[in-house]
Structure 1
């Protein structure tokens, strides 16, 4: 994907979600993983079946859940797919125009989820913020 880790997630929004969800944060992130895997698969299946109507709900779900965790590029891509699907339903058209976006969806979801889960894992080593027990502080 063309994104770097720093642009895939709005870490301020992620931190706010973590703060608001408290002890349930990791569990809810797990639901995002499960729902996201299902949504991406459903969108891909709908594309293979040329069913715009079958894309709308999974794209809408993925959009909202991604944005809850600050994953704006993923949310925006899901929103684009949802809008295309809704237009195709209204026009009674097939969703070929969504294909170029759907091709990007799985890799973006995977990369984003990896970043979110890495940041949420309490066992991940954090960069030391200077000093601390057992660490030398720089003296100039």
Structure 2
């Protein structure tokens, strides 16, 4: 199965992780965001340098951290980058075949984080339409009867 076929977020795994981390969940999710941004930057720089060796560790780390939050597509993409990079190290080849995958990594991370943030922050999902106003109430001027 290619990474494109993997679901973006496995919500069952996400909920499991949220339950296990408890009150530390949001803090750990913030670390994941920071670490993910750094890992992607290192992966992009390693690819520009055509260094398969430098691709392995950040891709491996991103793979594991993504899976912990149920970010299966991101995890699968990072795993593909890691495995191809390992093969390139062994065969002493440059990782040129990874160009599409490395380019897809940041948008996948951004899309994933948007979903995780939306689900992790109850205020975003429950933002009222106006202070003290029922959603189904007709709009009225202040103090005027319609």
TM interval, short-chain normalised: 0.7 to 0.9
Instruction: Report the structure number with the largest CA radius of gyration.
Output: 2
Any unmatched runs of 5+ in structure 1? 127-133, 136-140
Partner of 1:115: 115
Partner of 2:22: 22
1:97-124 alpha-carbon deviations (Å, 9 max, x no partner):
1111111101000000111011111312
TM-score normalised by the chain length of structure 1: 0.84
How far residue 92 of structure 1 moved from its aligned partner, in angstroms, is 1.0
TM-score normalised by the chain length of structure 2: 0.81
Partner of 1:82: 82
Equivalent residue pairs, number? 125
- Alpha-carbon distance in structure 2 between the residues aligned to 1:32 and 1:125: 21
Please say if residues 119 and 125 of structure 2, whose CA atoms lie closer than 8 Å, have aligned partners that are also in contact.
Answer: no
Any unmatched runs of 5+ in structure 2? 127-133, 136-146
How large is the RMSD of aligned CA atoms in angstroms? 1.8
Pairing of 1:1-140 with structure 2 (within 5 A): 7-126=7-126
